[in-house]
Amino acid sequence: MQEKEFDKLIDQYLKDKLSLEERAKVDMMLDHMADDTAFDNLSAAEREHSKKRILRQLINQIKPARKAPVLIAHIYLYPLLKIASCIALFGIFIWAFSARLKEFFNIQQYASITNSTGHITKSILSDGTIIWLKGNSKLNYPVKFKGALRKVDLEGEALFEVAKDAAHPFIIHCGNLTTRVLGTSFNIKYVNNKIEVNVLTGRVFLSSKNTAITLHPYQKAVYSQLKNVIIKEVRPVFNVAALTKGTEYNMFFNDARVEEVLQRIEKKFGITITVENSKIYNTLITADFTDQSLKNTMSMMSEALNIDFEINGKSVLVKNKSKINQ
C-alpha cells in the first residue's frame, strides 16, 4: 500500500466514509496492530475503546502540525507537514508491523541462503524438510510454506531430506529442470549446464519443457540444459557415502550408547533433548533412523527402550513410560 493510499484510507476511516467491507479491513488491521494476547482478553466494549485510542494516537501525530507559529506560512505548511507526518507514521507502521501486515495480507515471505565457503550448510525448513547446501550453492525458500505446493529454488548442489506430506508436493526448481516429490531423499547437482539427480529413497518425478521421467531408489538421471533432455542411467553407479559426506543423513547405529544416539539426533534436527532418567544413557541400541522425521525417530526409540517422549517446538523431553500405558 502506497503512502498516499494509506493516508487516504485513514482519513476516510476517521470521517466514516468507508464502505462496510473497507471499514472491516481497517478494523482487522487495527486488531493485528494491537497485542494479540491482550486483545483477545478484552470485552467488545474494551476492544472498541482500544481501537479509538489507537486512532487518537494517529490524530495526535498530525495535530502538532496545525499549531505552526508562523501564521503567514500556516496555510501552505500545514498540508506539507500533514503529509510528512503521515509518511513518517506510515514508515513506523511498516517497520514495526511489516511481518504482521504481510501475514495479514497473506504475502509470502522468502529467505535465501548462499554457501560460498565450500563447507556444507544445513537448513531446516518450516515443514521439517532438511537441506544440506553444498559448496558454491544458493537456496531460495519461503519462511513459511503456504498453499498447495512447497516450492524452493536451487542453484548448485544440495542433499534433500524432504518431510513427507502427500497433500503438499515439494517442488525444486533448478535451472530448467523441475523436481517434484512428496517425501523422499535425493541429491541434486547443477554444474556445467548439466543437472544430476541421485535418488536415495522414495520416488522422484523430473520434468522439463519436453520430457519427464520418474526415478526410484538408487536410480540416477542427468538433464542436459543445452539439449533439453533427461537421460536415466540404466545401471547407475553412485557412492551414497560420498553424497552424504559431511551431513547427518546417515543415522544407522550398531550397539551404540543411547547418549551418543541422542546427541546425534540433537545435532541433526537442531533441538535440545532432556532426559529424566539418565540411567538409559549407557543402554546399547541398534537401529536405523536414516530418512526418518524427528517424531518417527523418537517413536522408534520409545518402542525400543520402553520410554515416553514429548516434543515441544525445539525441545524434547524423554521420560519414563507412564504406568497408565504399562
Q: Give the pLDDT confidence of 22-66 residue by residue, as tens digits.
A: 665 655 554 444 334 444 444 555 555 555 555 555 445 444 444
Range scoring the smallest mean pLDDT among 20-24, 158-162, 166-170, 305-309 = 20-24
Task: Report the pLDDT averaged over residues 162-188.
Answer: 94
Q: Give the pLDDT confidence score for residue 109 in this predicted structure.
A: 86
* Sequence-ordered list of residues with C-beta below 8 angstroms from that of 163, at least 6 positions apart, any chain: 125, 127, 128, 129, 170, 183, 293
The residue among 178, 118, 171, 113 whose CA lies nearest residue 140 is 113
Cα–Cα distance, 171 to 173 (Å, whole number): 7
Q: Give the pLDDT confidence score for residue 35 in this predicted structure.
A: 39
Q: Does 126 score more than 50 pLDDT?
A: yes
Q: Does 321 score more than 90 pLDDT?
A: no
Instruction: Report all structural domains of the chain as residue ranges with CATH numbers, in order of start.
Output: 3-104 (no CATH), 110-244 (2.60.120.1440), 252-325 (3.55.50.30)
Q: Does 3 score more than 50 pLDDT?
A: no
The residue among 133, 166, 134, 132 whose CA lies nearest residue 150 is 166
Q: Give the pLDDT confidence score for residue 22 in this predicted structure.
A: 67
DSSP per-residue letters across 83-124? HHHHHHHHHHHHHHHHHHHHHHTT---EEEEEE-SSS-EEEE
Task: Report the pLDDT averaged over residues 174-179.
Answer: 94
Q: Does 244 score more than 70 pLDDT?
A: yes
Looking at every residue in the chain, the average pLDDT score rounds to: 79
Q: Give the pLDDT confidence of 189-236 residue by residue, as tens digits.
A: 998 899 999 999 999 999 998 889 999 999 999 999 989 999 998 887
Cα–Cα distance, 147 to 87 (Å, whole number): 33
HSE value, Cβ hemisphere, 13 Å, CA-based, for 285: 24
Q: Give the pLDDT confidence score for residue 236 in this predicted structure.
A: 78
The residue among 258, 259, 272, 281 whose CA lies nearest residue 316 is 272
Q: Does 71 score more than 50 pLDDT?
A: no
Task: Report the pLDDT averaged over residues 68-72.
Answer: 44
Task: Report the pLDDT averaged over residues 169-194.
Answer: 94
| pLDDT > 70: percent of the chain | 65
CA 186 to chain centre: 20
Q: Give the pLDDT confidence score for residue 290 in this predicted structure.
A: 94
Q: Give the pLDDT confidence score for residue 119 in this predicted structure.
A: 85
Q: Does 162 score more than 70 pLDDT?
A: yes
Range scoring the smallest mean pLDDT among 52-56, 69-73, 99-103 = 69-73
Q: Does 108 score more than 90 pLDDT?
A: no
Q: Give the pLDDT confidence score for residue 9 in this predicted structure.
A: 61
